[in-house]
Protein backbone atom coordinates (compact mmCIF):
# COMPACT_ATOMS: atom_id res chain seq x y z
CA UNK A 1 0.00 0.00 0.00
CA UNK A 2 1.67 3.11 1.30
CA UNK A 3 5.18 1.76 1.85
CA UNK A 4 6.63 4.83 0.13
CA UNK A 5 4.95 7.17 2.65
CA UNK A 6 6.54 5.29 5.55
CA UNK A 7 9.91 5.29 3.76
CA UNK A 8 9.59 9.03 3.10
CA UNK A 9 9.07 9.74 6.81
CA UNK A 10 12.04 7.54 7.77
CA UNK A 11 14.36 9.08 5.18
CA UNK A 12 13.59 12.78 5.69
CA UNK A 13 12.93 12.62 9.44
CA UNK A 14 10.07 13.95 11.56
CA UNK A 15 10.68 17.69 11.04
CA UNK A 16 10.54 17.63 7.23
CA UNK A 17 7.86 14.91 7.23
CA UNK A 18 5.68 17.23 9.33
CA UNK A 19 6.11 19.95 6.68
CA UNK A 20 5.12 17.58 3.87
CA UNK A 21 1.50 18.15 2.85
CA UNK A 22 1.09 15.34 0.34
CA UNK A 23 3.19 12.41 -0.85
CA UNK A 24 2.00 10.26 -3.71
CA UNK A 25 3.64 7.78 -6.03
CA UNK A 26 2.59 7.75 -9.68
CA UNK A 27 4.34 5.39 -12.11
CA UNK A 28 7.63 5.48 -10.22
CA UNK A 29 7.65 9.24 -9.61
CA UNK A 30 7.21 10.44 -6.05
CA UNK A 31 5.30 13.73 -5.91
CA UNK A 32 5.94 15.68 -2.72
CA UNK A 33 4.08 18.85 -1.75
CA UNK A 34 5.68 21.17 0.79
CA UNK A 35 4.65 24.70 1.74
CA UNK A 36 8.05 25.97 2.84
CA UNK A 37 10.23 27.25 0.00
CA UNK A 38 13.33 26.60 2.13
CA UNK A 39 12.42 22.94 2.58
CA UNK A 40 11.38 22.68 -1.07
CA UNK A 41 14.81 23.92 -2.18
CA UNK A 42 16.58 21.58 0.23
CA UNK A 43 14.61 18.57 -1.05
CA UNK A 44 15.23 19.56 -4.68
CA UNK A 45 18.99 19.53 -4.06
CA UNK A 46 18.82 16.13 -2.33
CA UNK A 47 16.48 14.36 -4.78
CA UNK A 48 18.98 11.75 -6.00
CA UNK A 49 20.12 10.85 -2.47
CA UNK A 50 16.49 10.63 -1.33
CA UNK A 51 15.60 8.27 -4.21
CA UNK A 52 18.53 6.01 -3.31
CA UNK A 53 17.66 6.04 0.41
CA UNK A 54 13.98 5.25 -0.16
CA UNK A 55 14.81 2.40 -2.52
CA UNK A 56 17.43 0.97 -0.14
CA UNK A 57 15.01 1.06 2.80
CA UNK A 58 12.21 -0.55 0.79
CA UNK A 59 14.53 -3.19 -0.68
CA UNK A 60 13.31 -2.51 -4.23
CA UNK A 61 13.43 0.09 -6.97
CA UNK A 62 10.23 1.76 -5.78
CA UNK A 63 11.01 5.33 -6.81
CA UNK A 64 12.70 6.46 -10.04
CA UNK A 65 12.42 10.19 -9.42
CA UNK A 66 11.05 12.87 -7.10
CA UNK A 67 9.08 15.96 -8.04
CA UNK A 68 8.94 18.58 -5.28
CA UNK A 69 6.05 21.01 -5.56
Whether residue 1 has pLDDT greater than 80:
no
So what's the pLDDT on residue 55? 94
* pLDDT tens by residue, 4-56: 898 999 999 999 999 998 999 999 999 999 999 999 999 999 999 999 999 99
CA atoms within 13 A on the CB side of 22: 7
First-residue to last-residue Cα distance in the chain: 23
Read off φ and ψ for residue 28, nearest 5 degrees: 85, -5
So what's the pLDDT on residue 3? 85
So what's the pLDDT on residue 44? 96
So what's the pLDDT on residue 2? 83
Amino acid sequence: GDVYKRQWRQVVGPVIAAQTRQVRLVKGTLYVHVQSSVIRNELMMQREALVRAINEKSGMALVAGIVVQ
